[in-house]
Amino acid sequence: MRIEQLTFTRFIAAISIVVFHYGKGVALFYNEYTSFIFEQANVGVSYFFVLSGFVMIIAYREQFEISFFEFIKNRIARIYPVYLLAILLILSINFFQNINKFDLVLNLFMLQSWVSNKALTLNFTGWSLSVELFFYVSFPFLFNFFYSKKHLKSITVWIISFFLISQIVFYLINNEVFELIYLNIKDIRYYPLMHFNEFLVGNLAALYYLEKLEGCKKHYNFFVFMTLIFLIALLKYPFGLNYHNGLLAIVFVPMILFMSLSNNLFTKTISKNIFVFLGEISFSIYILQAPVWIILSDYRMNKYFNLNKEIHFTESFFIRLLVLILLSSVSFMFFEKPLRNRIKRIRTTY
C-alpha cells in the first residue's frame, strides 16, 4: 500500500536540499523574505528519515512477519543502483585516479557515517544512505519482535522516551557538555544512531495512523497549512535550537498524518501520475546533485554555455537543476527500475 499524496512531498524536500547546497546567490530563494528557510533547508533530510519510517510501516502493514534477507534485498534494489552510479560518476571525473581506497570501501558498503570524518567523503549526500541502511537492518527486528508483539500504548512510551533522550544527548554533545571518545561534534550530525529517533517516530506515526486514524479521511488542508506555518515559524525563530537530530519531527509527523488523511482536490491533484513521478525521482535528484554540479563546473558552464560564474549565477543554477531533473528521470526509468526489478527477482534461500 502507498499513500500517493505523500510521494510528491519527497520532490519538494529534495529540491529544497539542492537549493540549500547550490542555490546561495539565487535571489528567488535567498532574499530578505525567504533566506531563513533555504539556509536551513537541509532539515529536509530529517523529513526523509521520518517519512521513511512512516511509509515502511504502511508498506508492510499486511505482513505477519518480515524476512530479513528478502527485505534487505528489496531495499538494496531500491537505493543501491543510483547510489553506485553517483559514486562512479564522481570517480570518472578524475579518471579513477587518486582514489582513497578506505573512503571508497566505506562508501561502497554504506558505512561512511559510522567513521569519524568520513561521512561526507566521495558523494557527500551519500551519508544519509549510510543512515538509511542502519534503519533497514533494524526494521525487520523491530517489526517482528516489537511492533507485532506490543500494544500501541507500550510502543508509544518506548519510542517517545527514546526520542526525548536522543534530543537531550544531542543537545549536550552539541554544546560540548559531553566529550566524545572517537567522534567529533561535527560527526554526530551524520551518525546513524543519532538519527534513529526520526525513523522510530515515523514508525510510531504510521502505527497510530493504521490503528486509530485511517478511517477518518476528511478535508485537512487547513491543518496542513497550519503545520507548514508552524514549521516556517520555527525556522525563522529557532531560539538557539538545533534541528538536525529530528527535533522537527514535532512538525513533520502531524504534517504527514494530515496529508495522509486528507481527501480533497489538493491531495487528489498531487496524487496524479506526473506528481507521483516527480516524487519517485526525488531520490535520484538528491543523490545525483553533487555529480551534476561537479560535471557542469563553472569552467564548463562558461565554455559551453558562455555563462559567467559571477554574472549568470541564477541562469547557471537553473540549467544545472534542469539537467539534474532530466538525468534523474532517465536514470529512474532506464537504469534504476530495470536493475531494481532484476535484483528483486533474485531468490533468497535464507
Question: Tens of pLDDT along 300-341?
Answer: 999 988 999 888 999 999 999 999 999 999 999 999 999 998
192-210: average pLDDT = 97
- pLDDT at residue 162 greater than cutoff 80: yes
* 220 vs 140: which has the higher pLDDT: 140
pLDDT value, residue 63: 85
pLDDT value, residue 219: 83
Question: What is the model's pTM?
Answer: 0.95
pLDDT value, residue 125: 97
If pLDDT is split at 50, 70 and 90, which confidence band does 85 have?
Answer: very high
pLDDT value, residue 221: 85
pLDDT tens per residue, range 116-143? 999 999 999 999 999 999 999 999 999 9
If pLDDT is split at 50, 70 and 90, which confidence band does 186 have?
Answer: confident
pLDDT value, residue 94: 80
If pLDDT is split at 50, 70 and 90, which confidence band does 174 have?
Answer: confident
If pLDDT is split at 50, 70 and 90, which confidence band does 348 have?
Answer: low
- pLDDT at residue 156 greater than cutoff 60: yes
264-287: average pLDDT = 94
pLDDT value, residue 296: 95
Per residue, what are the HEC states of 183-224?
CCHHHHHCCHHHHHHHHHHHHHHHHHHHHHHCCCCECCHHHH
- pLDDT at residue 102 greater than cutoff 90: yes
* 310 vs 235: which has the higher pLDDT: 235
Task: Provide the mean pLDDT of the chain.
Answer: 93
- pLDDT at residue 349 greater than cutoff 70: no
pLDDT value, residue 96: 82
Give the residue among 8, 49, 7 at the shortest CA–CA distance from 252.
49
